[in-house]
Chains A and B, each alone.
Chain A
Amino acid sequence: MCAVNSEGLTSKSTTAEPSRQNRRSFLGALLAVGSAVVGALLSVPLVRFALFPLIRQTTDTKKSPVGSVSEFASLAEPAMRTIQIEQIDGWRKTVSEKAVYITKDRRDQLCVLSSICPHLGCTVPWNKEKKQFICPCHGGTFSVDGSRVSGPSQRGMDTLETSVEDGKLLVRFEYFRQLVSDKEVVG
């Protein structure tokens, strides 16, 4: 502390004993620089500690298992599954449940749809008779692959990011902005 303060001494020039004063000025400068260096060194762990959320990922949504791929091989219509979503939030995690649909896209590949209506967020059920997803709130309809057919929604149902590990279908659940035509992740 005091060494940093000693900077004030370096500006002295006229004295009765110039050589002694020069030594003092040199010492003052040395202490000031030394303290600054030590202070900077000591602040390294503090900075690393405070910047931890920038260095590592502190929030994360883990991939949720949906089921085995073979289970959905001969899918005739969209299958609903409730998945557990584990979200890491610093030192805590939350587990919530969400319904998703496993269906096939136009190229006959497995895909997972969020059951949340892109219009206003109601849960969209599959209508077996009409072979369409029909939202009970405002009547939006979507085809078997989730693409928009009719209704107030500005886009089709949202596909979720999937991957396959050891024959298991995994999905990363995300929320998307409602009432817009482009899929845009929120939260």
Chain B
Amino acid sequence: MQEMQKIEDQTAGPKTGLWGWMDRRTGVDALLRSALYEPIPGGARFAYVFGSGLLFIFISQVITGIFLALYYVPSADHAHTTVAYITKAVTAGSFLRSLHAYGASAMVIVLLLHLSQTYIYAAYKGPREILWVSGCVLFALVLGMAFTGYLLPWDQRAYFATAVGTNAASEVPLIGETLKRFMRGGTEMGTLTISRFFVAHVFFIPACIFALVASHISLFRKAGAAGPPDEDPYEPKKKTELFYPRQVLMDLSLTALLIVGLGSLCFFAPMQLGPAANPADAQYIPRPEWYYLPIFQWLKYWHGAASVVGILLIPMVLVLGIVALPFFDRSIERRPWKRPIAMGAYGFVSLALLGLGLRSQYLDNHDPGVAQQLAKQKAEEQEYMRKPFETELSSATLAAANVALADPEGAKGKEIFESLSCNACHGDGGVGTAAAPALVGIKAKHSPDQVAALFKHPTAKMTAGGMPPIDLPPDDLKALIAYVESLK
């Protein structure tokens, strides 16, 4: 303790000048000191860099996500077009989208490393139980972000992977079907699914992550760093070091590695976008992102009555076991080599996940039919990426013209509409002008018979506005009414 006091005295300086004024107004100096002069028992280590690495990626995901929302539209009609626009048309769009998509994978990798370090160092043990639990919830939330974000581009890969993912939810006994419908916003995947996933991805889960990251850091500072596992728990012998400068430099080296690694990946091998989702494509073979492959493979082994065990019971026991770990693993021992059960379980679960993932990959590669289809899907993606961006034709504007073209009676009606100069006052396509009201949507207000009656005998108000009675042969009148009723 005396040593700590000495270090703190050394680092405290007089607060003069602009910085001093700023500190007196905001307390920023004290805040920085508490952040930078956090004591690290046993000294700085590279093993501790993953937490701040995660924070860095999370901030990067938030920033790139906000910017992507400048152009993205969450609806089944426009999602794919807007992502294609971002990828193919907008300056730096492909780079930012890649940064966001690869950032998700990077987050899962660093998260696994952070979790492993905590587990191997037994840093989850008391008094850090709640810290561990909040970390577990954050892990689930990050996986939730990855799952919900994956659908948003609405290309073939996204659509079918999420169809499988949400389908898996229906395997849950009793509530499965309800759960699936809740996730999809209906029995099938559609525009409501995008809305739901978008809201979860952009509002709900990030809000939870912000709150939990704050509590995670605050709980960490309250309990303090656990220090190396081989330290004597009763009489610590290793020197305590402050967070700044050595640990800061170590943390920054991971940040630099992430920037360079992700930056080069996004620049040289940008994220692909496949053709727009086509739910009718019965041949498409969906594959999830690499971090979901073990679960994907695991689900293949369980069918029928046994699925309760494989899909519900075993994962639940595993998850509960991990979350509740600090509550039953209560010994003071933290050295990995003295915790054979804990380390054995860690090795077993890690190998099982790795094995399942590799098995899935192996099966895909060794089934000629599957391998061929997967290669075809990849080729389709590459071909789509080579095509220039195509603007989406807005459906509403051409509706009237299309109806007129598709229906001969409507087409004839359109000619009559123009030859009688109806468009002079009611506007082209019946959009309305200062002289006369719009005819668009008239179908909802008047039936064809009512329209015919109004044409023959305009009301006093219509006559006052300059509407003449229309006297046409029955066929022509019918065509004109068909056209007017078709206006949207």
Contacts and interface: CB of A to CB of B under 8 A. Distances in A.
A2 B421 contact: no
A95 B13 contact: no
Given A45-B92, A45-B96, A31 B32 contact: no
A143 to B, nearest CB: 19
B56 to A, nearest CB: 7
Given A50-B70, A98-B428, A124-B424, A5 B92 contact: no
A27 to B, nearest CB: 6
Interface of A (DSSP majority class): mixed
Interface in B16-43: 16-17, 19-20, 28-29, 32-33, 35-36
Interface string A124-154: 1100000000011110000000000000000
B10 interface: yes
Interface in A1-45: 1-3, 5-9, 11-17, 24, 27-28, 31, 38, 42, 44-45
B271 interface: no
B5 interface: no
Interface string B384-395: 000001011110
Interface residues of B, number: 65
A96 interface: yes
Contact of A91 (B17, B82, B91, B425): B82
Interface in B89-105: 89-93, 95-96, 99
B91 A52 contact: yes
A38 B263 CA distance: 12
B397 A96 contact: yes
Contact-residue bracket for chain A: 35 or more
Contacts of B93: 49, 52
A49 B99 CA distance: 13
Q: Which 7 residue pairs of A and B lie closest in terms of their CB atoms, listed nearest first?
A: A12-B13, A45-B92, A91-B85, A120-B434, A137-B435, A94-B397, A123-B424
Given A28-B245, A178-B434, 18 more contacts: A2-B251, A3-B252, A11-B13, A11-B19, A31-B252, A46-B96, A50-B70, A91-B389, A92-B81, A92-B394, A93-B393, A93-B394, A94-B398, A97-B401, A120-B435, A122-B434, A135-B424, A137-B466
